[in-house]
Chain A
Amino acid sequence: MSRPFPYAYISCPCANTPAPDPSRKRRSRESPQKASPEKPRPELQLDDEEDEQTFDPRAPRSNFSLYPPEQLLYCEDCHQIKCPRCITEEILCWYCPNCLFETPSSMVRSEGNRCARNCFNCPACTAPLSVTTLENRGGDQSGPWVLSCGYCMWTTLDIGIKFDKPTNIRAQLAKMTTEPSMPAIHTRQVSKTFGDLKSPLSMYSSIDDQLPPVDGSRPDNEDQPSDTSIPRTRNARFAALKTFYKDQVAATTTSGVDPGDFGASFSSPNTLHRIMSIYTATRITALYGNGNKKARNRPPVMREAVSANEGLALPKPSSETAIIQRMASDDCGWDGLASLEQRAFQSPDARFVEDLLPLPSLLRTKRSKRCKSCKHILVKPEFKPSSTRYRIRLIALSYIPLATMRPLILPPTTSASLPSLSSAAAPNLDALTPQRPIQLLLTLKNHMFDPVRITLATPSVTPGRVASKVTILCPQFDIGANSDVWDEALQSATAPDRSSRTSPYEKVAEAGKVWDKGRNWTTVVLEVVPGSLPGLKLKAYKGVGDDDNDDDDDDSDENEGALDWSGKSKDPAQQIQPDEDVLDIPVFVRMEWNSDSQIDPEEGIGSGKGLGGDSVKRELAYWMVLGVGRIES
């Protein structure tokens, strides 16, 4: 509830009617078989009770169902408001926010969700980097190129990297920071290991190289280590370790699983069977003792990586002290150390600012949204990343009236002292005086092309410990259709009585009468008497009753039900809970309209409700919470 007062939130009905999940369906299928006469009935009764209940804006559950109206969608098939919890999202496309180029999702899966082109973020401050030349003498753009940050002036010169070309920087960077290419004999294996390297964990590696010659470390056999292929970078070591353990798994498994296809081996039925048999076998062993143990020949023991070309990296004993000395040296200092934020996306070895590498930009997605219950598409953006248009966007505000509020400034007694009095009469919504009535103008603006009849209902006393009295002076009214703007302009020219809006001081709020009305909006008056806060009331009683308990009781009796809580005034629960002083008013909105717009005949035919192209009566009801202000304590 961080919005400024006054605000209006709308409660999505999904909190009361949870989305159909499979377990619930199963239960409902089971229930008629087992306890058909008894079970459904209490559930129904419960539902009825829930419907009858007043929506409590302070209930812990309601926190999750209240949304600002602009965040809600509307499903035309279900005829229901849809909050972010009752929709599903689908990723339409991945694109780089910097260059707006789309990346196919297959490439995202294989190479990670970072831009493969020229887009980089500064490793020091995360601002986007730009490609600049070092040669500013010549007119033609030539010479070495660097990435530079416009904000913190970081350049790749800080880490001693220059590029030969201004294009395809990422490939150049990968070539520089990863292993050099390997002999031609291994190309076949390289392509295979390359694919393996990319597939499952490439999302986690910060510098994703997309050039094939990455991994020069795959040992041909474990017996003969090749001197040329000792992995030096972290990624290469990881790849080497991975290939090594993959070979180990392949060597130790009895069944002939294709060693090259490690990822798929878990999903093959053969392996699945083997995995399952592990558990059943142990269970059998546990049951029948050691008798069966010898029947299973134990697989050969897997060994760990021992040499450097298998990916094992033994840190030098002096490396830690070297790091500490570097930290302690004068030219490093606090500013030379990489911060946690900077290290989050870097190689774990990066300890100093000089170790940071530029980060390719993270990709973004465009998503379409569907209704969870009927799978109807609610939001579908344009496919192209450069376009911000939407093909479909069923936002709730085009179906439900937008509620806005402002305090009604009480009419001054004399017109002469008008400006000073009116400014004095404007209530401060952040500190409402308890028990002092204020009037609010509640405006509902219709965005549909049909006129709507609105019925508002509110409990006369707000739920919760701080009981404020609420009266809607005109609970039932009509709102005009969202017709052509010119119509209103012409209308107002013919009907001069609209000028009453300009001078509201002459008006007095009357019960049963609409305050003001426009083309597609209607304003009614809401009268609120803010309740007293628990702590305040106690103090007041002390003052009045001269520390006499009897007097206290009398007072509480006078104020009837509002003081139910005063009996337990001793316990610490008497203190105001956080945000308990916020005056939230639950309002039940029921809207009725005859939809005879162009869209609806088709819809009516589709749903079988169409009355020969005639208008269809529709209604929609929901709870709304009006945040009026904060009661002064």
Chain B
Amino acid sequence: MPQPNLLRPPPHHRPSTQSNSQPSSGSSTPKPAQPPITASSSATIAESVVFQGTFPVTIGRGTIIHPRARIYSFAGPVVIGNECIISEKCVLGTPPGEGTGTVVSTTGMAGDRNKENQRGGQTTGGGGGGEEGAIQLSSSVTIGPMASIAAGVTIHSGVVVETAAAINGNVDIGAHSKICARAEISAGAMIREWTVVWGAGKGAGLRRRVRVQGGKVNPIVQSLNGDTAAATAGDKAEEGGTLEGRIIEDARLLGMRREREALARFIGASKGRR
């Protein structure tokens, strides 16, 4: 990995390994550990994305990482699947100096952070965190702005994590789930697929809902319309009822794809490359 120039940022599709806090840290403190990054050529990664850590980071094809996102791989490898959107200022992984499984706080002095970077890197390197702290994002995952995802989280495909949501360590989020804005998932939680976690804060304030996938028949409608309506509804459920809930989800994923494509085109046009 060539070390990019400090003053001039690297081209946009090349993952940058420098952080904003580096110039302020001065020359006396050593640079934080930089992970080996394997990024697909079709991924779009902003210049000001921070990569730190010791374990490898893998970024799939078509993925977009917005500016000022921070990805820390001190506790384990970070794998970001295909066609994901990682929004700005979100944090993947646990920054060093904090225990795994805690919510990432963005405040802190730059110098301190760098010092602790080193320490954290040494400990994880020596101990060999292994698969414990791995972050795995499957395809078509959307991470909202300022969301934080602790080390050891597995997110399956089609999941949406909204703005400022916090996902603590060792959480497993099933496919096509949604974590609504500002929700906090406690450590070790298991969220089944097609679940929506909504509400405020954490714990009792949060509610879960299972999204519908197949067709259903409303009991009121059924009772009112009698047997004929029930029969037709039953037929519908048999022929294509399993699809109905998914059609909406498909439409959402389609919209997400268009967003990515539009962004890639926009950046490509503005750069005058491609």
Contact = CB atoms under 8 A, between A and B. Distances in A.
Contact of B244 (A134, A176, A177): A134
Contacts of A159: 216, 218
A176 B221 contact: yes
Interface in A156-183: 157-161, 176-180
A171 B264 CA distance: 44
A390 interface: no
Contact of B198 (A134, A136, A151, A157): A151
B208 A178 contact: no
Interface residues of B, number: 28
Given A157-B216, A335-B209, A136 B250 contact: yes
B88 to A, nearest CB: 21
A232 B207 contact: no
B223 A232 contact: yes
Query: Secondary structure at chain A's binding surface: helix, strand, loop or mixed?
Result: loop
Nearest to A154: B209
Interface string A593-616: 000000000000000000000000
Nearest to A156: B218
A155 B199 CA distance: 17
B20 to A, nearest CB: 27
A161 B216 CA distance: 8
Contacts of A328: none
B218 A161 contact: yes
Given A152-B196, A335-B210, A232 B215 contact: no
Contact of B224 (A125, A135, A151, A233): A233
Contacts of A135: 247
A136 B215 CA distance: 17
A146 B233 CA distance: 15
A176 B220 CA distance: 8
A176 B218 contact: yes
A197 interface: no
A344 interface: no
A353 interface: yes
A148 B217 CA distance: 17
Contact of A157 (B199, B215, B251): B215
A180 B224 contact: yes
A620 interface: no
Residue among A152, A153, A159 with max Cβ neighbours from chain B (10 Å): A153
B224 A158 contact: no
A331 B211 CA distance: 13
A86 to B, nearest CB: 38
A157 B244 contact: yes
Nearest to A234: B220
B89 interface: no
Contacts of B225: 180
A153 B199 CA distance: 13
B212 interface: yes
B193 to A, nearest CB: 13
Interface of B: 178, 180, 196, 198-199, 207-212, 215-218, 220-221, 223-225, 233, 244-245, 247-248, 250-251, 254
Given A148-B248, A155-B212, A155-B248, 14 more contacts: A125-B199, A132-B248, A132-B251, A136-B250, A151-B198, A152-B196, A152-B198, A153-B196, A157-B216, A158-B212, A160-B215, A160-B218, A161-B218, A354-B216
